[in-house]
Structure 1
Amino acid sequence: MGQLEDMALLVRIVDAGGIGKAAEQLNMAKSAVSKRLKELENRLGTQLLSRTTRKSALTEAGSLYYQRAITIIDEVAELNALTHGVKKSLSGTLKITMPLSFGLLHLTPVIDEFSQLHPKLKLHIDFVDRHIDLLAEGYELAIRIAELKDSSLQARRLTPIRHVLCASPDFIKKHGSIETLAQLNNLDYLQYGNIGQSHSHLAQSQNAQGKVSLTDAKGKAHTVPLNTIMTANNGDFLKAMAIKGKGVCYLPSFISYQAIQAGQLVPLMSKYQLPIIHAYAVYPQTRFLSERCRLLIDFIAQRFGDKPYWDEY
């Protein structure tokens, strides 16, 4: 192995949080990763990582080497991207994470089209709603629906995510018109929730348990209490229960739009504005953005735009 590969190995060990995790990400034996690290240290004549049975930490020399290695690796990657930029087909492997419902419903056809344009590109995709540490788990890119707070990441806004408060025609027939705060107050509610800590876009866009936020035409915010009769951690399930007439449901339009188009669900509180969040492409700010990553982000952004098709109902 050359010195550039050894630099990349050290960076992977540090970013992953240890030799064991780095070995898993590289699909190598832990002993092989340890051996290569030791060979690098012997060649440099200094210890880069202080290792114990429980954790590893950069030494002072290791910290300097790590920071310079990041710069050199990114510069080489940028040079390669510029040199090969004329190529029409991408190659290599792109490891991505994306939310389950949004990914399956809307990113699947986009990824399919992109992969047809770049048949040599290998994609490793995880559909998960939990928050993932990109560096620690070896991901190059994440698609997230949230209001971002992690300053260690760079992000590009892809498309707005609007929400709909809706119910079935049968539910509305039973309870009457639902267009005022008084009419909405304390109706049966299908709540997004999770027993554990949740990073879901639904959970982040709602207020406390059994409450929804709306803004009137004058810009005044209102919080309305509802009677939570069912809680689930999946928006597609909640949509199905709402169609069955179980209660009022608060859903992103990318989940509810087809049911609304088919007349299975009816939007409520049309004179009020619900919170809008966004879908982002997120990647570590300490890394050069690869050409394959940049082109996929551009491709997704162009397909969805500021007025995505799921808001046309």
Structure 2
Amino acid sequence: MTNLGDLEIFAKVVSTGSMSLAGRALGFSPAVVSKRIKRLEDRLGTRLLQRTTRQISLTEAGQGFYDRVLGILAGIEEAEYYISGRSAQMHGTLKVTAPTSFGRTHVAPHLKSFMDMHPGLAIHLVLSDEFTDIVGEGFDLAIRIAELTDSSLVARRLAPVRRLLCASPDYLATNGTPQTIEDLKQHRCLPAHNNDAWRLEGPEGPLSLRPEGMLVTNSSEVVREAVISGLGIALRSTWDISRELKDGRLVHILTAYEGSRNVTLSAVYPSRQFLPAKVRLFIDYLAEVYGPVPYWERSMV
């Protein structure tokens, strides 16, 4: 009978596209991974992977075998999930990446409750505002706030994202309140940390404008602090500024316009067919915490 560990190694090599990345994720050297793959191929009497200096790809037999291996591994995960659900225990490490500000304010505060429910599960949380290759870097899932376009990944929507134009009362008192979108050209605007255009929806439909300002930064948190301090006008998410809007430190302006509704808060993971129970549990937990109307929206009412 084929060693179950060989199947796990094979699946990880395929999902990462690299023996070294698979080994890193599983705690093996590339040489051990290569040896285990060869042992599997020798036992089956067929080549599963085509190897070149640049990439690894599945043979026709390998593709069919991989599809079936995913079903086997998923079945084992389901069995473990059943047992862990009965014993209220989940073991292993969950590796998650999230945007810096959102992770600090809306993921970190909820970790204790989740980890109290699953004391055997360790969480490795990496916060970054840069794009993360979750497969290549071995993450189980990523929390993303974006328009998702990568069809090789699977996404589950966790909550809507509302982005509003806002400024501090001091800024508006000094510079006036814009009455039209065209008025923004006469104001100091604070571009997003990646300097993307503002994609808005308003009475005339979708529109795009590229704000120009004196501040350029790679930090979304710097933009947040700059708009609160009165440096200019920004397009910010309600999850980030709901408290400031409620207590008056920021004012919602040009209320007929909001950021594109195609931007959502989502959990992104590599495969629908082989979703580890620990990943499913964490995604379900976050979806319940945020809810269809997120708590940061409810706090503004």
Q: Does the aligned pair in 1 maintain the 2:165–2:258 contact within 8 Å?
A: no
Please show how residues 244-263 of structure 1 align to structure 2 within 5 Å: 244-263=229-248
Deviation at 1:6, TM superposition (A): 0.5
The normalised TM-score by structure 2 is: 0.88
- What letter matches 1:282 in structure 2? V
Deviation at 1:163, TM superposition (A): 1.0
Q: Return 5+ residue gaps in structure 1 as ranges.
A: 196-202, 208-212
Match of 1:200 in 2: none
Describe the superposition over 1:147-178 as per-residue Cα deviations: whole angstroms up to 9, x where unpaired: 22233333222111111211122211112233
Deviation at 1:220, TM superposition (A): 4.2
- 2:289 aligned with 1:297: no
- 2:235 aligned with 1:280: no
- Rounded to whole Å, the distance in 2 between the matches of 1:154 and 1:269 is 35
Q: Return 5+ residue gaps in structure 2 as ranges.
A: none
- Rounded to whole Å, the distance in 2 between the matches of 1:14 and 1:146 is 27
Describe the superposition over 1:172-200 as per-residue Cα deviations: whole angstroms up to 9, x where unpaired: 111223343354343111101438xxxxx
- 2:192 aligned with 1:206: no
Q: Does the aligned pair in 2 maintain the 1:193–1:233 contact within 8 Å?
A: yes
C-alpha change, 1:40 and 1:220, in structure 2 (3 Å) is: closer
Deviation at 1:104, TM superposition (A): 0.9
Match of 2:37 in 1: 37
**1:281 partner SS:** strand
- Rounded to whole Å, the distance in 2 between the matches of 1:62 and 1:306 is 41
- Rounded to whole Å, the distance in 2 between the matches of 1:77 and 1:224 is 47
Q: Does the aligned pair in 2 maintain the 1:181–1:224 contact within 8 Å?
A: no
Match of 1:306 in 2: 292
Please show how residues 32-181 of structure 1 align to structure 2 within 5 Å: 32-181=32-181
Moved more, 303-312 or 223-232: 223-232
**1:41 partner SS:** helix
Select 1:228's aligned residue among 209, 213, 226.
Answer: 213
The normalised TM-score by structure 1 is: 0.85
C-alpha change, 1:80 and 1:224, in structure 2 (3 Å) is: closer
- Rounded to whole Å, the distance in 2 between the matches of 1:267 and 1:274 is 13
- Rounded to whole Å, the distance in 1 between the matches of 2:210 and 2:59 is 54
Q: Does the aligned pair in 1 maintain the 2:245–2:252 contact within 8 Å?
A: yes
Match of 1:198 in 2: none
Task: Give the % identical residues.
Answer: 36
C-alpha change, 1:287 and 1:222, in structure 2 (3 Å) is: closer
**2:156 partner SS:** strand
Q: Does the aligned pair in 2 maintain the 1:235–1:251 contact within 8 Å?
A: no
- 2:236 aligned with 1:215: no
Deviation at 1:226, TM superposition (A): 4.5
Select 1:238's aligned residue among 197, 200, 223.
Answer: 223
Moved more, 225-234 or 291-300: 225-234
- Rounded to whole Å, the distance in 2 between the matches of 1:294 and 1:20 is 26
Match of 1:6 in 2: 6
- Rounded to whole Å, the distance in 2 between the matches of 1:50 and 1:220 is 49
Q: Does the aligned pair in 2 maintain the 1:141–1:283 contact within 8 Å?
A: yes
Q: Does the aligned pair in 2 maintain the 1:235–1:255 contact within 8 Å?
A: no
- Rounded to whole Å, the distance in 1 between the matches of 2:244 and 2:284 is 29
Deviation at 1:241, TM superposition (A): 1.4
